[in-house]
Structure 1
Amino acid sequence: MAVRTESDVQALLEQANLKEEDLLPETQVLHFSPDYLPEQDNVLLIELDKTLLNSFKEGQSAVLRGDPEESAVLCTNDKTYEIRGAMTSNSLLLVPELFVPSQAVGKRTLVHRQISSIHHSYLEVVPCKPHFHKLQQLLEECPYEGPDETQSSSGHRYSLNELQDRIQCSEEELEAGLKSLGAYHIYGFWQIPNFDYQFKIVSHITNLIGEREWSVDAIPYEEALNELSKLEPRTVMAQCLDYHLHPMHAEREEDGYSLHALNGDKVCRLYGEVLLRTARGMKLDEFNTMWKNSVPKGLITNLNQLNGLVLLDRSSPATVITYFPASELPLDIKSRLETLFDVQEKWTYDEIRPFLDDLADSKNPVSTLLMKHARGFTVDGTKYYSERYSK
C-alpha cells in the first residue's frame, strides 16, 4: 500500500486550486482495509433527522417493532417512524475511525484511516401515524363482558407489555390509543367492552343522571362513581366515567364534589349506533326523530357525530341511513376505495373523508390519497370522486 506524504497532499491541494489556509490542518488519508467488501450485509446505514438524532444524544432509546409479515417501524418514547429503503448514486464510505478535526490552526498532520465498506443504499426514517388497526383487532379477541365468571374466555387477553411488543407505535401513543378506543385496564389486562355491555354501563350513567335530575354539564363525579359502583365493578365504572365525562374544573358548593360534563358526542354516537345496528336501513327523518328522543335530556344530536359509522343514500326521494362502520373496511387504500366505490359510485370529499381518515397522515392526507387512487370530476359546481378506472 502506497503511503501518501505531506508533499503529496500539498500537490493535490495545488491541483485542486485549494488554499491550505482555508482548510483544517488535519488530513485524513483513506485506504481500503484488508478485509474490505464492496457491500456488507451485516452493516446498514440509517439517516436520522435532527429531532431524532438529538433525542439519541440526550440518552433516549428507540426500538424496532413489527411482526415478520409487517414492515418495521422505529419507535421512540413518544413517536413512531416508518423505515424505508433508499438508494443513492453517490458512494457512501464507511470509515469507522473517521473524526471531525477540532482545531482550525496548527501544523499539517496526516492520519491514515481504513474504509471498511462502500454503500449505495441506506435506510431513512419518516414520521408516521401509529398503527392502531391491529390494536383494535387484538383487543377484540377477548372483549370484556362484565364481572360474570361465565363470560367467554376463549380469546387472549393482553397486558401492556404484550401490546407494546405487537403494536407498531411508541409507548405514549399506545396509551393514548387505548384511551381513544375506550379500552379498560382490568386485572392487569387491557380489554375493550363488548358493545352490549358498553351500552349497559353507559345506560347506568344516563339513568342515574335522570334519577338525580343532574344537569349533563354538572355531574358530581364522586357521588356518581359511588352509586354506580353498586351496579358494576368500581374500576370499570371509574374508567367508563373517565371516558364519557370530562372535568368542568368546578366543585359542587354543598360538598365540594368535582363537577364533570357528559361528553355529548360520544354518548350520542353510542345511542345512534344502537339504533342502526339492528336496522338494515332507516329513513333519515325517522332515524333523526328516534335518535333525538333516545339521548339524555340536554344532549343535542347531529350527523357529524356518526362520521365513519353510517352511509347516507340520497339516490331516492327519502334519504336512507345505513350502518356502515369504517372499522370493518379493508386496511389498504386500494381495497378500501374499491369497497367504497362498489357501495356508492361517486362521493363528495366530505362524504368519503371519514372513511379514509384512519389511513391518512401528514405526508399523505385524504386529499392526496384521493388524487393518487381515485378520479375527481365536477358536476354542477360540486366535486366528486369515483374509481380511477371504469370496470
Structure 2
Amino acid sequence: MPEVEIMFSPERGPLGSFRLMELPPDLCKLIESSTGELKLAIKGGTDDDAVLCTSERTYNIRSVVLSNSILVISPPDADGTGDQVVIQDSLNELLELVPTVPRLHRLNTLLKEHEWEEGHEEEEENFGAAKRKRITVDQARAELQASEQELAQALREKHILILDGRSYLILELLLMHLVSLSQPHDAASVQELSQPLEDEHEVKREVTLQVMRWFGQVDAENVSWNVDVEKLVRQVGLGVLRQHKNDPVPEDEFMAKWNAAVGDTFASSTSLQLLTGNYLCASSPFCSSTMLSYFPCAGLPVDPVARFSDLFLTRPRWKAEDIVPYLSDIAVDSKDLDKLLLRYARALTDKDGLWYTARAR
C-alpha cells in the first residue's frame, strides 16, 4: 500500500468553508441526464429556511449531523502529483434535500394592494395608480421560494393577470361578462367575446385572452376558446360563496344563487364537490337545510402548527374527509399528509366513521 503524508493546508480558511450536499435520486438523475443548461437556485431571505429550486420542484435544505467527521482533501500540486494529501476542511454535517411544497404564501401579501373589486373603480382611477407600487414577475420570482413551474401554476390558479411585465389580481366580474354572452362553450369565438368587452368595458383583448386561458384552452391562432366548464362553474361558485364568510347560507338557497349565476347552460354542472376546501357545513335549529359558510383553505396559515391550531379552534372535531382538503396544500403527497395528521392530530373512530381531534401537548 502506498504511503502518503497528511498535512493541513497552510492557506485553509475557517472550518465549515465547504458544504456537502446529498442529492435525492430524482435530482441526481436530473443532473446526470441534463444535456443543456440546468438551473438550480437556492432561495430564502435572512429569516427563511433555505430551499433549493429546480425548474419544476422545491426542496427543503436541512442539516444532518454526522457521527464521524468527513475530511475534504486535495493534492498539493495542480497536476495531482506528489505524495502529500492536504486537508482543506473537516465536515461534521451534510445538507439533505427533502421535497417540499412551494412557499407561495407571500404572493398574497405582495398582491394584497392590487386586488381589484367591483365598486372600487373610481377609487382606483383617482388614487390607485399613484399609491400602488407595481409588482413585477421578476420580483415575485426572486422573493418567492418556488420553482418556475410551481410559480407559473400559482399565477394561473390565483388568476394573476400579467400585463407589460406587471401582475395584478382580478376577481370574478370579468368572467361574468364572458359567460353572459351566448357562445358554444366548446368552440367560443375569441373575437366575438373579446370585442364587446373592449368596446363596452375597456377590457383589453390581451386581458380577455389571459382570462380565457384560466378557464379553458385557446387555440394557437387565438380564434377559438374551449371552455373548461368545471373551472368556470367553480369560480362563479366561489364568488357566490365568498359573500357568506360571516353570514351562513342554507345550502338550497346557495345552490339556487349559484345556478342563477352560471345560467341554464351550466346549471347542471354545479356541485358542492367543486368547492371542497372552501366551505364548512353546519346544521341549524331554525331550518332543515344544511348551512354553508365560506372557509377557504387559502386563508389558513402555511405553518403546520398554526394550521392545525386554526382548524381545531374552528372545529374541535373533524371528519377525515373534511380535514384532508385543508391540508393538501401543505403536504407534498399522501404519505406526508398522513405524517402531519399523525403528528398534530389524534384519530378517533365511532359509528359515524373516522374523526380527528387536537393532539394534547
TM normalised by structure 2 equals 0.84
Change (3 A) 1:282 1:32: same
Number of corresponding residues: 342
> Which amino acid counterpart does residue 206 of structure 1 have in structure 2?
V
Report the CA distance between 1:167 and its aligned residue.
Answer: 0.4
Match 2:265 to one of 293, 298, 301: 298
Secondary structure of 1:238 counterpart:
helix
Match of 2:256 in 1: 289
After TM superposition, list the pairs within 5 Å mapping 1:54-203 onto structure 2. 55-56=30-31, 58=34, 59-97=37-75, 111-144=83-116, 149-150=125-126, 152-153=128-129, 154-193=131-170, 198-203=171-176
Report the CA distance between 1:262 and its aligned residue.
Answer: 2.6
1:178-233 Cα shifts (integer Å, max 9, x gaps):
1221111123211111xxxx222111101112xxxx23333122332233322312
Secondary structure of 2:126 counterpart:
coil
Task: Verify: 1:205 aligned to 2:178, yes or no.
Answer: yes
Match of 2:325 in 1: 354
> Which amino acid counterpart does residue 66 of structure 2 have in structure 1?
T
Change (3 A) 1:63 1:28: farther
Gaps in structure 2 of 5+ consecutive residues: none
Match of 1:106 in 2: none
Secondary structure of 2:150 counterpart:
helix
Is the Cα contact below 8 Å between 1:28 and 1:113 reproduced in 2? no
> Which amino acid counterpart does residue 238 of structure 1 have in structure 2?
L
Is the Cα contact below 8 Å between 1:310 and 1:324 reproduced in 2? yes
After TM superposition, list the pairs within 5 Å mapping 1:229-308 onto structure 2. 229-230=198-199, 231=201, 232-247=203-218, 258-279=223-244, 280-299=247-266, 300-308=269-277
Secondary structure of 1:41 counterpart:
coil
Gaps in structure 1 of 5+ consecutive residues: 1-8, 10-26, 99-108, 251-255
Is the Cα contact below 8 Å between 1:347 and 1:385 reproduced in 2? yes
1:320-345 Cα shifts (integer Å, max 9, x gaps):
10011122212211221121112212
* Percent of paired sites with the same residue: 26
Structure 1 Cα separation of the partners of residues 359 and 284 of structure 2? 22
Structure 2 Cα separation of the partners of residues 348 and 385 of structure 1? 6
Change (3 A) 1:260 1:120: same
Structure 2 Cα separation of the partners of residues 242 and 358 of structure 1? 23
Secondary structure of 1:95 counterpart:
strand
Change (3 A) 1:223 1:293: closer
> Which amino acid counterpart does residue 180 of structure 1 have in structure 2?
E
Structure showing greater Rg: 1
Secondary structure of 2:67 counterpart:
strand
Is the Cα contact below 8 Å between 1:269 and 1:305 reproduced in 2? yes
Is the Cα contact below 8 Å between 2:20 and 2:94 reproduced in 1? yes
Query: Alignment RMSD, CA only?
Result: 3.0
Structure 2 Cα separation of the partners of residues 363 and 31 of structure 1? 50
Structure 1 Cα separation of the partners of residues 67 and 205 of structure 2? 62
Report the CA distance between 1:315 and its aligned residue.
Answer: 6.8
1:95-126 Cα shifts (integer Å, max 9, x gaps):
1349xxxxxxxxxx984321222211121112
Match of 2:345 in 1: 374
> Which amino acid counterpart does residue 223 of structure 1 have in structure 2?
E
Structure 1 Cα separation of the partners of residues 278 and 3 of structure 2? 63
Change (3 A) 1:114 1:258: same
Change (3 A) 1:201 1:142: same
Change (3 A) 1:28 1:181: farther
> Which amino acid counterpart does residue 217 of structure 2 have in structure 1?
H
Report the CA distance between 1:151 and its aligned residue.
Answer: 5.4
Larger CA deviation: 319-328 vs 146-155: 146-155
TM normalised by structure 1 equals 0.78
Secondary structure of 2:47 counterpart:
coil
Change (3 A) 1:349 1:223: same
Is the Cα contact below 8 Å between 1:329 and 1:339 reproduced in 2? yes
